[in-house]
Amino acid sequence: MTIDERDIEDYSEAEARAEIDRLHAALSRADRAYFEQDAPEITDAEYDAMKRRYQTLEIAFPELKRPDSLSGKVAGAPVEGFSKVRHAVPMLSLAKAYTDEDVVDFIERARRFFERDKDLKLAFTAEPKIDGLSASLRYENGVFVQGATRGDGAVGEDITANLRTITDIPHKLAGAGWPATIEIRGEVYMTMAEFEALKARSAAVGGQEYVNPRNTAAGSLRQKDPSITASRNLKFFAYAWGYTSADPAPTQFEAVHRFGDWGFKISPYMVRATSVDELIAQYRKIEELRSSLGYDIDGVVYKLDDLELQRRWGFSSGEPRWAVAHKFPAEQATTTVRAIDIQVGRTGTLAPVARLAPVGVGGVVVENVTLHNEDYIAGIDSNGLPIRGDEPIDIRVGDTVVIQRAGDVIPQIVRVVLEKRPADAVPYVFPHTCPVCGSPATRELNEKTGKEDSRRRCTGELICPAQAVEQLKHFASRGAMDIEGLGTENVELLFNSGLVRTAADIFTLKHRRAEVQAAFAARREEQSRQRDAAAGKVRTATRSVAERSFEGLDKLFAAIDGRREPELDRFIFALGIRHIGETTAAVLAKTFSTIAALRDKGLEAAAAGGNLHEVFPSVNGIGDTVWEALRDFFGNERNVVALDSLLAQVTPKEYVVTVSATSEVAGKTVVFTGTLEKLTRGEAKAMAERLGAKVAGSVSKNTDIVVAGPGAGSKLKQAQELGIMVLDEDQWLEMAAK
């Protein structure tokens, strides 16, 4: 995903809201792929860059911070299929350092915090950061009784049976002196040798492909059959603890070495140091050893050594202040650009991709890399300044380039090796027409800043097959219509088979069952043929399409029928109108109440074409960008025809705001803070708004009610200081029910 690199001050409120929504969706999708599906879609560096941009926008526009903000949240969620375990002590993520200066800053923060303690000499530990799956092991009277994954940090999955198969995890602690109850925490991982052996065994039988050791270890640990986990020969390093009835030792260093005495494997590269120079020296040493360790690491973790000082320093935004992960720089390799291709996205964005001569980077063969937009290819940013070197350096077919990789997928280009540029290499000419449908591709002008959009877009909209299929994927996605079973592969299959061209076609699939079944059966037949060919098998007979049933077809049709009366905000978001994310869709739903009212206003705006404020109402949080997007959408006759065809199949629910004359909530401004245990933050907000209340993100003298759950902090304190009514969740529900 391309990050909008504009200066923050160039954003309007509506643009900032749209960008926060876009980043929120992308980060949430990346979290699900990494933590729940063990199949990351972006690199660590790309994820971190998006997260930093997301947090910067939240700081610049605090009123736009979402109730479900990802800032300070531990990513991931318990996976369905295992019973849930609530951690007695949350399993938190660590703050990150990317440079030596970041490490210096971490140490200086510690010294400033403890500066009143005269003659106090601070010590820190340094140890490799294992790239695996975090696990917590509960021991009672020295006996292993329960094991769990980190999950979302508060709740994980019970994988006790699978953890028992790992030989590095003792069933009973050795030695003596362990607390009556202690949760030993560490990392489950797979060695490089075991990973390569598993890949070879799988390839020999035409089995699945494995991406990397980290994902494979995570998938192995979540097997329903513990014997499969046992066959993967997983390993475990212990390095921390959660709940304990007594400290295992006075310091981090001593505690971890006690784990070694009790039968755990601990890192042999953990040291204790008293200066920045010593910590960074250990970082450099571990970095040099990285390729010879036999298992993946992605940095070095520093922790304040004294446990009492750790407790005093405490936590911030869901992270311990007393620890930081110093990440390794992205791994690099050199290759050549064979071609530059253009892919067309849902909103018509022409996304350039470099096709590379295959090169291995960190155990993964890389053949493609995103080039973001035409300015990036030309070597300039949105302000026309060079992004690679002191002068703009463009990227050309035939160029030798240095690429880097910090995660498990497509990396980015670091620099062009100009001295190796072929004499006949010519600047890349970015297309001004869509390569899929031939429609003009334009760069819009931002009237506020006077700058061109960095992205060139196809103007073909729904006549463009590339946009159409991406729009269908969006329509069926979890945040939109949430049609189970209609993921990327199935949407592409149905589109390419000619069975689904518009969203309305999805809802007529049941009446074309035979054709749908034939399409799925043909795909399965082709997949089997390819697997057999790869394994060197000769197919002597092929079952007919009629004999090949698709067992999930009825389930798919039922899922589609279950979405015939969607919530209005989901439906508006599913339409895929530019600049309208989930939050904006919810505001529009509340404003117009019905899809008919929104449609009428959109058509009126398209016909008027003048001052949009004469057509659309004044709505807090909605600016010109959104109104213009609606005008443009309804100004395209093809969009209106497609929408009307869809509305012949589905009936979005009316968005009802219930304002009771006797309600104590109506007209009030409500702020939710802390952890809600009976409602999600989104449900609580929707409930308040439907009762006629306004939900705010911050406490002020205009706030009427603060609903405070466990963990409420500064907002609760501010409410108490201002004399504002404070309710717990039960009291809020009782008031809302009146």
Q: pLDDT digits over 227-244, tens only?
A: 889 989 999 999 999 999
pLDDT band at 381 (very low <50, low <70, confident <90, very high): confident
pLDDT band at 186 (very low <50, low <70, confident <90, very high): very high
pLDDT band at 491 (very low <50, low <70, confident <90, very high): very high
**HSE (side-chain half, CA atoms, 13 Å) at 28:** 13
CA-based nearest residue to 302, from 115, 96, 133, 111: 96
Q: How many Å apart are CA 312 and CA 409, to the nearest integer?
A: 40
For residues 151-157, give the mean pLDDT: 88
Q: How many Å apart are CA 667 and CA 659, to the nearest integer?
A: 9
Give the type of residue at 493.
Answer: L
Q: Which two tokens stand for residue 380?
A: 């300039």
| pLDDT above 80 (res 145) | yes
More confident site: 187 or 64: 187
**3-class DSSP state for residue 528?**
helix
Q: Which two tokens stand for residue 249?
A: 């030792």
Q: How many Å apart are CA 53 and CA 33, to the nearest integer?
A: 20
| pLDDT above 90 (res 263) | yes
pTM for the full predicted model: 0.48
The helix or strand, by DSSP H or E, that contains position 373, with its residue range, turns out to be none
Catalytic residues: 129
Distances (CA, A) of 357 to 18, 211, 342, 420: 37, 19, 17, 15
Q: Which two tokens stand for residue 377?
A: 């290819």
Residue 549 is predicted with a pLDDT of 45
Distances (CA, A) of 209 to 203, 360, 365, 526: 7, 17, 13, 17
More confident site: 453 or 426: 426
Question: Are the C-beta atoms of residues 551 and 520 closer than 8 Å to each other?
Answer: no
More confident site: 727 or 449: 727
| pLDDT above 50 (res 303) | yes
The alpha carbon of residue 658 and the mean position of all alpha carbons in its chain are separated, in whole angstroms, by 35
Q: Which two tokens stand for residue 162?
A: 């699978």
Question: Are the C-beta atoms of residues 122 and 322 closer than 8 Å to each other?
Answer: no
For residues 9-23, give the mean pLDDT: 78
Distances (CA, A) of 525 to 517, 520, 545, 547, 552: 12, 9, 8, 11, 16
> Which residues touch 389 (CB under 8 Å, ≥6 apart)?
379, 415
Question: Are the C-beta atoms of residues 696 and 671 closer than 8 Å to each other?
Answer: yes
Q: Which two tokens stand for residue 335?
A: 């290759």
CA-based nearest residue to 152, from 31, 4, 332, 321: 31
Residue 348 is predicted with a pLDDT of 87
Residue 77 is predicted with a pLDDT of 45
Residue with tokens 């500064």: 714
For residues 381-407, give the mean pLDDT: 83
Residue 235 is predicted with a pLDDT of 96
Q: How many Å apart are CA 191 and CA 217, to the nearest integer?
A: 9
What is the per-residue pLDDT across 106-125, written as a single tens digit (0 to 9) for each?
Answer: 999 999 999 888 789 999 99
The lowest-confidence range among 89-98, 209-218, 267-276, 636-645 is 209-218
More confident site: 44 or 218: 218
Residue with tokens 């160029």: 399
Q: How many Å apart are CA 701 and CA 467, to the nearest integer?
A: 48
Residue 548 is predicted with a pLDDT of 40
CA-based nearest residue to 571, from 539, 593, 542: 593
| pLDDT above 60 (res 535) | no
Residue 534 is predicted with a pLDDT of 55
Q: Angle of helix 44-60 relative to helix 13-31, nearest 10 degrees? A: 150
**3-class DSSP state for residue 245?**
coil
| pLDDT above 70 (res 149) | yes
For residues 356-379, give the mean pLDDT: 83
Mean residue pLDDT of the chain comes to 85
For residues 447-460, give the mean pLDDT: 77
Residue 358 is predicted with a pLDDT of 83
Q: Which two tokens stand for residue 420?
A: 């190796």
Q: How many Å apart are CA 671 and CA 708, to the nearest integer?
A: 8
Q: How many Å apart are CA 721 and CA 674, to the nearest integer?
A: 17
Q: What beta strand segments (E) does 419-495 contain? A: 441-442, 457-458
DSSP 8-state class, residue 321? T
Other Cβ atoms less than 10 A from the Cβ of 250: the count is 12
| pLDDT above 50 (res 78) | no
Residue 472 is predicted with a pLDDT of 93
Q: Which two tokens stand for residue 132?
A: 């695996």
Domains of the chain are 1-71 (1.10.287.610), 97-327 (3.30.470.30), 330-459 (2.40.50.140), 462-561 (1.10.150), 568-647 (1.10.150.20), 669-737 (3.40.50.10190)
Residue 709 is predicted with a pLDDT of 83
Question: Are the C-beta atoms of residues 622 and 588 closer than 8 Å to each other?
Answer: yes
3-state SS record for 86-143: ECCCCCCCCEEECCHHHHHHHHHHHHHHCCCCCCCCCCEEEEEEECCEEEEEEEECCE
| pLDDT above 70 (res 351) | yes
Residue 464 is predicted with a pLDDT of 86
Q: How many Å apart are CA 589 and CA 232, to the nearest integer?
A: 50
Count each helix (H run) and each strand (E run) in the chain, helices first: 24, 24
> Which residues touch 457 (CB under 8 Å, ≥6 apart)?
347, 348, 349, 350, 441, 442, 443, 444
pLDDT band at 248 (very low <50, low <70, confident <90, very high): very high
More confident site: 410 or 19: 19
Q: Angle of helix 624-634 relative to helix 13-31, nearest 10 degrees? A: 80
The alpha carbon of residue 466 and the mean position of all alpha carbons in its chain are separated, in whole angstroms, by 24
Q: Which two tokens stand for residue 504?
A: 């309305």
Residue 37 is predicted with a pLDDT of 53
Q: Which two tokens stand for residue 204?
A: 């020999």
Q: How many Å apart are CA 714 and CA 721, to the nearest integer?
A: 10
Q: How many Å apart are CA 129 and CA 443, to the nearest integer?
A: 44
Question: Are the C-beta atoms of residues 553 and 520 closer than 8 Å to each other?
Answer: yes
Residue 51 is predicted with a pLDDT of 78
CA-based nearest residue to 178, from 239, 125, 255: 255
What is the per-residue pLDDT across 705-723, written as a single tens digit (0 to 9) for each?
Answer: 999 887 777 788 889 889 9
What is the per-residue pLDDT across 547-588, written as a single tens digit (0 to 9) for each?
Answer: 344 557 888 999 999 999 999 999 999 998 988 888 788 889
Residue 448 is predicted with a pLDDT of 59
Q: What percent of the chain has pLDDT over 90?
A: 42
CA-based nearest residue to 374, from 402, 353, 346, 398: 353
More confident site: 442 or 711: 442
Residue 52 is predicted with a pLDDT of 75
The helix or strand, by DSSP H or E, that contains position 675, with its residue range, turns out to be none
Q: How many Å apart are CA 426 and CA 531, to the nearest integer?
A: 41
Residue 236 is predicted with a pLDDT of 96
Q: How many Å apart are CA 494 and CA 520, to the nearest integer?
A: 9
Residue 545 is predicted with a pLDDT of 38
Residue 674 is predicted with a pLDDT of 80
Residue 435 is predicted with a pLDDT of 93
